[in-house]
Amino acid sequence: MNKLFLIIKREFIAKVRNKSFIVMTFLSPLLFVGIAALVGFLSTMNKDKATEIAIHDEGGFIKTNFKNNKDFHYSDISTMPFGIAKDSAARNYEGLLYIPKVDSLQLIKDKVEYISENSASINFIGHVEKIVDSVLTSNQLRILGLDEKKIEEAKVDSTLKLSKFSGEESLKGLNEIKIAIGGLMGYLIMMFIIIYGNFVMRSVIEEKTNRIIEIIISSVKPFQLMMGKIIGNSLAGILQFLIWIIVGLLLAFVAQTFFGLQLNSSASLSPEMMAAAGQSEGMLKFQSYWTELMNLPLTLMLVSFILYFIGGYFLYSSLYAAIGAAVDSETDSQQFLLPIIMPLILGVYIGFFTVINDPHGTVATVFSIIPFTSPIVMLMRIPFGVPWWQLVLSLVILFGTFTFVVWFAAKIYRVGILMYGKKPTWKELFKWLKY
C-alpha cells in the first residue's frame, strides 16, 4: 500500500511538473476564451455586410413588403425591362427576385422566382416565402371579407404545463437545461478519459523505452505500478480541472461584480425603458430556471457523476495502460486505440441524438447499461430521472466490468512491459493472457 502511494506520488509530481501540463493548465482557458471571442467577432463581421438583392416586380403588388434589414438590402429595378434588369442584377447584385405580372394576386403563389449565381441561403428562402405568404394571406382574408385584426385577436397561444406524478412542476425549458447539464457531464468524462488515458499510455511507453521498467517491477508488482500510474495521472487531471473551476468561479465573480454595477447604471440612465423591462423579464426567467435547476436531483447527479467518472476512467485507462505495455512506441498504438475510442464516441452520439429525443427509449436505456457507454449515456439520462433499478444495474455492471478489465489489462501489462522489439497482434495479446 505504501509502495502504491509512492508510485502515485511520483506519477503525480512527474505529470504536474511537466512543462506541457503547466502550459496547458493556464493556456487552455485563455485559448477557450480566445476562440469564443474569435467566433463572436467573426459572426458579427459576417452580419455587418447585408446581401444586396434586386427586385423586379412587374405587378408592383409585393415589392413594398420587402423592407431593408440588417441581413438583406432590396433595390427596386422594376422600371427596367426584364432582360436588362436581369443583366444588371447579374452584374451589380447578389441576385434578382422576379415577381411576374399576373391577373389575380393569388396566382403569384408559385410564380415568384429568385435568380442568382450562388444558390440562396435557407435563411433567405424562408424570409422571402414568409413575406409572400403574409401578403397573400391578408389578401385572401380581405377577399373573404374577414377582419384581419379580429382574427389576430382570436388567436390563442397555449402552454403545456409539465409536472411529474410526484407533484413537482417543471418548466418546459428545463429540458434544455437537463440536456445541457447531462451533455456537459458526459462530454467531460469522455474528454477526460481520452486525454488522461493517453497520458497513462504515454507514461507506460516512456518507462518501456527508458528501460527502467525492469528495475521498478523487481521492486513492485506490475499491478501496483499500473494502478499507481492510473491514479497518479487522474489526480493530476483532477487538479487541473479544479484549477479551471476555481479560476472560472473567480472570473465569474469578478465579472458579476462589474457587470452587476453596469447593469444597474445602464438601467437607470437608459432612455429606452423597453430594453430595461426586457432585461428584468430575462432576469425573472433566469430566476425561475434557477429554482427549477435547484429542483433537479443535484445530489444524485453529483454522486453518480463521481461514480461513473471513477468507473469509466479506470475501465478505459487500464485498457490504455495495457496498450502502452503492448507496443514499443506511440505510433504502433493506433490499431489498438480505435476499438477504445469508438465506444466513447458512440456514447456521446447516442447521448446527443437519442437521449434528447427519448431519454427513456430502448436505445438510450440499453446503452446506459452497457458498461463501455454507460458513463456517458447514463449521465445524460440522469437529469431526466432514471429508475433506481437501472441505475444500480448499470453501476454494478460497470464496476464488475471494470474489475475484469483491470485484471485483463494487468495480465497484458505484466507480459507486455518486458517485451521489446515486437509489434504484437491481437492474437498474441490473447496468448499473453495465458502466460
Partner 1 sequence: MSNILEVNNVVKQYGNYTALNNVSLAVPSGSIYGLLGPNGAGKTTLIRIINQITMPDSGQVLLDGEVLKPDHIQYIGYLPEERGLYKTMKVGEQCLYLAQLKGLSHQEAKKQLKYWFEKFGIEDWWNKKIQELSKGMAQKIQFVVTVLHKPKLLILDEPFSGFDPVNANLIKDEIIELNKQGTSVIFSTHRMESVEEMCNYIALIHKSNKLIEGKLNDVKQQYRTNTFQIGVLTNDIEGLMYQLTQKFSVEQTIFKSLNDDIKLEVKIGNHTSNELLSILTSFGQVTHFVEKIPSVNDIFIQAVSK
Q: Give the footprint of partner 1 on this chain (CB under 8 A).
A: 3, 6-7, 10, 14, 18, 206-207, 210-212, 214-221, 418, 420, 431, 434-435
What's the rounded Cα separation, in Å, for the pair 275 and 277? 5
Q: At 43, which amino acid appears? A: S
* Least gap, CB of 403 to partner 1 (angstroms): 21
* Least gap, CB of 330 to partner 1 (angstroms): 16
In the complex with partner 1, which residue's Cβ is closer, 115 or 216?
216
* Least gap, CB of 239 to partner 1 (angstroms): 19
* Least gap, CB of 234 to partner 1 (angstroms): 20
In the complex with partner 1, which residue's Cβ is closer, 81 or 421?
421
3-state secondary structure the chain: CHHHHHHHHHHHHHHHHCHHHHHHHHHHHHHHHHHHHHHHHHHHHHHHCCEEEEEEECCCCCHHHCCCCCCEEEEECCCCCHHHHHHHHHHHCCEEEEECCCCCHHHHHHCCEEEECCCCCHHHHHHHHHHHHHHHHHHHHHHHCCCHHHHHHHCCCCCCCEECCCCCEECCCHHHHHHHHHHHHHHHHHHHHHHHHHHHHHHHHHHHHHCCHHHHHCCCCHHHHHHHHHHHHHHHHHHHHHHHHHHHHHHHHHHHHHHHHHHHHHHHHCCCHHHHHHHHHHHHHHHHHHHHHHHCCHHHHHHHHHHHHHHHHHHHHHHHHHHHHHCCCHHHHHHHHHHHHHHHHHHHHHHHHHHHHCCCCHHHHHHCCCCCCHHHHHHHHHHHCCCHHHHHHHHHHHHHHHHHHHHHHHHHHHHHCCCCCCCCCHHHHHHHCCC
Q: Name 303's Cβ contacts closer than 8 Å, sequence gap at least 6.
A: none
* Least gap, CB of 408 to partner 1 (angstroms): 18
Cell of 193: 478519459
In the complex with partner 1, which residue's Cβ is closer, 241 or 420?
420
Are 205 and 238 in contact, with CB atoms under 8 Å apart? no
* Least gap, CB of 212 to partner 1 (angstroms): 5
Q: Name 42's Cβ contacts closer than 8 Å, sequence gap at least 6.
A: none
* Least gap, CB of 305 to partner 1 (angstroms): 34
In the complex with partner 1, which residue's Cβ is closer, 3 or 423?
3
* Least gap, CB of 209 to partner 1 (angstroms): 8
Map residue 296 onto helix, strand or coil: coil
Map residue 371 onto helix, strand or coil: coil
* Least gap, CB of 13 to partner 1 (angstroms): 8
* Least gap, CB of 214 to partner 1 (angstroms): 4
In the complex with partner 1, which residue's Cβ is closer, 23 or 212?
212
In the complex with partner 1, which residue's Cβ is closer, 165 or 435?
435
**Strands 169-170 and 72-76, sheet pairing:** unpaired
* Least gap, CB of 341 to partner 1 (angstroms): 28
